[in-house]
Structure 1
């Protein structure tokens, strides 16, 4: 019986090692940092390639290649069409001309092709494409000259739109009319952001939109939520009596009670529609206010510098943020469910009350991050750096914490039901339960023992495993 069981175990183990999924996990999972970064890099490039396929491409080439291409096609098409029409109505005459022409070229009395005729034929074959290219470049030059002449008109139009989008309107107009005109001007900025009126207008349009977003956040009151949470950390203010586990509900209620702002809604709708042209590598994005924006599913923000940005109450569900820099960012109450944050930098980011359920945070840097009351249910935190992170009242039920760094982390009141702690390491500074400061040494040793039984590893100051007791 024991031999049969051993054989079954050996067979299952061998089948596991021969499974492609096993080797993919060993080679490309968080356990292999170099290949894991390569996998993320390839994934980002593939996603950007898909975005590139959906964008209009080669507009300038198509604009200037039409006439030379039409001439190149019509040149042989007109004689061919003439011969075809004559062959329909005069087939015998056309056939006779063809036979005579064939005898002239291939017969014994056919004249030899002299070097002068050969040079003329070669010059004709080479000269026509060269003439087409010269025509093409001349067409591009003429169009650019006309574009430069239109810049003055575009500049005047942009100045008018800029003034209306900034709210510089006649005070004699009714408030509703001024808002309507401002909203229309905000939507007109889309063309300038896309470069339809020239690349020189893209940065001014973006800086104007950035300034408007800051003003909108002050009008709707999202900055007040950040101030309330900061006061909660100092044990004062309207949220002072809220326990950490109820912080998410309090933040969602505060977001629900924000002020209405029609102009701000138009600005956020513009970001929703123009996100591929906004979240680019060449655009300055850090310290931008994106409060309450809603991005489409699968929006690609990977490897972007979003440090110190504000995404309070934003909907970033299923967004791709692999390798993004979100250090010191404000994401209070944000929806990051199913978001891809592998290798992202969230150093000391504010994620109080955020929804990170099922999010992918493998090898992410969450050192010192504020995750009080956050939903991390079933989140993937394998190999993540959670040193000194604030997880008071967070929901980590069924979360994957294999190999995570929990040194000095604050887990008072956190829900760790059925969390995967295999290989996670902690130290004596890690607060592993509610009222941790009030526990004596024996009570702490009992909790440490439970963690090690679950597969976690206790380490000393040098990072070496430390025996319990």
Structure 2
């Protein structure tokens, strides 16, 4: 029992003694008054003459002195007992610390010897010999009962010692042991996982170590009672190493999911940790390392994740509203269906990230790296994507209404069926981008680079006449009707686009599994672009005469270009692409 639990009892004991003394004095006074009334006026004079009166009076007067003497002796005795108990606990703690640190584990004995060469004076060399000696005992033949080896027993003792450390960590032996116990546990965790990091089969080794008895014991002790004892040391959360920890280990309280809520965890190392559905609202994770961590369904609303490392992390379905992810590393992170509404992702790295169906309304993605990322069906309404790097990004059916893509790089991006209504694409680079069936209603296109872009079947191309000559149309693919609408508005000087005749409209199908790759080369220069057009599956494009007719139709309206069919691509039922190389020209 701790000193804190003894203090209330000690105070109650003092109160009871004082009350008893007052009660005894009151009873004595009442008795004396009663006797005085019955005997008469001579009572007090007769009482004083008796020897017993003075004895009683001396006892009454000396009782407070006796009480305080007892009190001081009692306190001294308690301190002595606590000191003795602390000495015992300290010795026990030291022994447990040795077992937890692995001081008793059986290890190989390595001896290094330095041997001088006999020709030292000639070539000045010294040889170093290393000798590896294994020292172990062998069970005698008299053992009748099977048992484990000494080495296995040493490991078992280490696991048992971790559990023996729990009372010290929880403060059952006094608060003085809490912090040393925490340091021992975290040091053991660090030593356990650092020896595996960097190996060739790291993932398999880490999973094996995570499920080992020692790792489970350390997790159960560190997160005992919902992690409330670990939360007593919030000052150590910064730079704490708890990588690969599993907050969903069987037997842990659900309260452990709120372990880091509203805390300062700057620089904490939680790479590879299992943190599904964890509550991290308003947490400060600046410069933390969460590489490969599983944060599926986690709540990170209004969290500060400035410069955090979330490479390869799983954030599927996570709540990230109003979160600060400036300059963070989210390379190849999984943000499938995540809610990033109003999030700040300025200069963050989201290359090859999975953002299918994610919500990024009003998010700030200025200068963000999104190359080769999957943004299919992503909600980017009113988002700020100015100067964003979206080369080869997949933005099919993305919602980009009123989004700012000023100076954004969308080279070779796939924007098929994307909704770009009232989006700002001024000074944007859409070179060789796929904009088939995209909604261009109210789009701002001043100084936009549409070189080699596929603008087939774009919807509501309403452009300002004054901006048409500012657009780079070289190699841009447009339907004949769209070109006629533009030419009816104004006379352009930069009309080096590629026109698809209306006669081919009935056989074109951008969703078809049958694709044909065309090469268009300008006659006046060596400049060339490639475009892929989808045709209806019933069209026998494999026949050369059909391909020649297609080339003839295209060549009719594009006299400034020489046209060639390069390949035919067909998507098989098993999702493999069959490519046939063709070199047809008209």
TM over 0.5: yes
* Paired position in structure 2 for 1:324: 283
Q: Which structure's CA Rg is the greater one? A: 2
Alignment of 1:174-189 (within 5 A): 174-189=150-165
- Write 1 or 2 for the structure with the bigger share of helix: 1
Q: Displacement, 1:393?
A: 2.4
Give the one of 66, 83, 87 matched to 1:148: 83
Alignment of 1:47-196 (within 5 A): 59=5, 63-64=9-10, 143=78, 146-169=81-104, 171=106, 174-196=150-172
Give the one of 356, 363, 372 matched to 2:331: 372
Q: Displacement, 1:66?
A: 6.4
1: distance between equivalents of 2:182 and 2:7?
27
Cα distance change, pair 435–357 in 1 and its aligned pair in 2 (3 A): closer
Q: Is the 8 A contact 1:425 1:459 kept in 2?
A: no
2: distance between equivalents of 1:267 and 1:367?
34
Describe the superposition over 1:46-91 as per-residue Cα deviations: whole angstroms up to 9, x where unpaired.
xxxxxxxxxxxx956665566579899999xxxxxxxxxxxxxxxx
Cα distance change, pair 364–142 in 1 and its aligned pair in 2 (3 A): farther
* Paired position in structure 2 for 1:277: 229
1: distance between equivalents of 2:71 and 2:361?
61
Q: Is the 8 A contact 1:195 1:201 kept in 2?
A: yes
2: distance between equivalents of 1:431 and 1:442?
5
Alignment of 1:287-366 (within 5 A): 287-295=239-247, 296-297=253-254, 298-366=257-325
* Paired position in structure 2 for 1:217: 193
Describe the superposition over 1:173-210 as per-residue Cα deviations: whole angstroms up to 9, x where unpaired.
71111111111111122111112112221111111122
Q: Displacement, 1:328?
A: 2.6
Cα distance change, pair 299–145 in 1 and its aligned pair in 2 (3 A): farther
Q: TM-score, normalised by structure 1?
A: 0.58
Q: Is the 8 A contact 2:210 2:245 kept in 1?
A: no
2: distance between equivalents of 1:467 and 1:137?
88
Q: Displacement, 1:432?
A: 5.6
Cα distance change, pair 446–218 in 1 and its aligned pair in 2 (3 A): closer
2: distance between equivalents of 1:435 and 1:422?
16
Between Structure 1 and Structure 2, how many residues are aligned?
336
Q: Displacement, 1:336?
A: 1.1
2: distance between equivalents of 1:61 and 1:376?
54
Give the one of 367, 370, 390 matched to 1:411: 370
Q: Displacement, 1:216?
A: 0.6
Greater relative contact order: 1 or 2 (C-alpha under 8 angstroms, separation 6 or more)? 1
Q: Displacement, 1:458?
A: 7.0
Q: How large is the Cα RMSD of the aligned pairs?
A: 4.6
Cα distance change, pair 272–202 in 1 and its aligned pair in 2 (3 A): closer
Q: Any idea what SS the aligned residue of 1:350 has?
A: coil
Cα distance change, pair 282–445 in 1 and its aligned pair in 2 (3 A): closer
Q: Is the 8 A contact 1:272 1:294 kept in 2?
A: no
* Paired position in structure 2 for 1:286: 238
Q: Any idea what SS the aligned residue of 2:275 has?
A: coil
Q: Displacement, 1:329?
A: 2.2
Q: Any idea what SS the aligned residue of 1:303 has?
A: coil
* Paired position in structure 1 for 2:184: 208
Q: Is the 8 A contact 2:297 2:318 kept in 1?
A: yes
Q: Is the 8 A contact 1:408 1:430 kept in 2?
A: yes
Q: Is the 8 A contact 1:426 1:458 kept in 2?
A: no
Cα distance change, pair 390–442 in 1 and its aligned pair in 2 (3 A): closer
Describe the superposition over 1:266-315 as per-residue Cα deviations: whole angstroms up to 9, x where unpaired.
21232232522113354412222212212254333123232332222211
> Is the aligned partner of 1:397 residue 2:356?
yes
Cα distance change, pair 457–149 in 1 and its aligned pair in 2 (3 A): farther
- Write 1 or 2 for the structure with the bigger share of strand: 2
Cα distance change, pair 163–445 in 1 and its aligned pair in 2 (3 A): closer
Cα distance change, pair 445–399 in 1 and its aligned pair in 2 (3 A): closer
2: distance between equivalents of 1:321 and 1:395?
22
Q: TM-score, normalised by structure 2?
A: 0.48
Structure 2 residue runs without a partner (length 5+)? 22-66, 107-135, 137-148, 248-252, 396-406, 428-442, 447-586
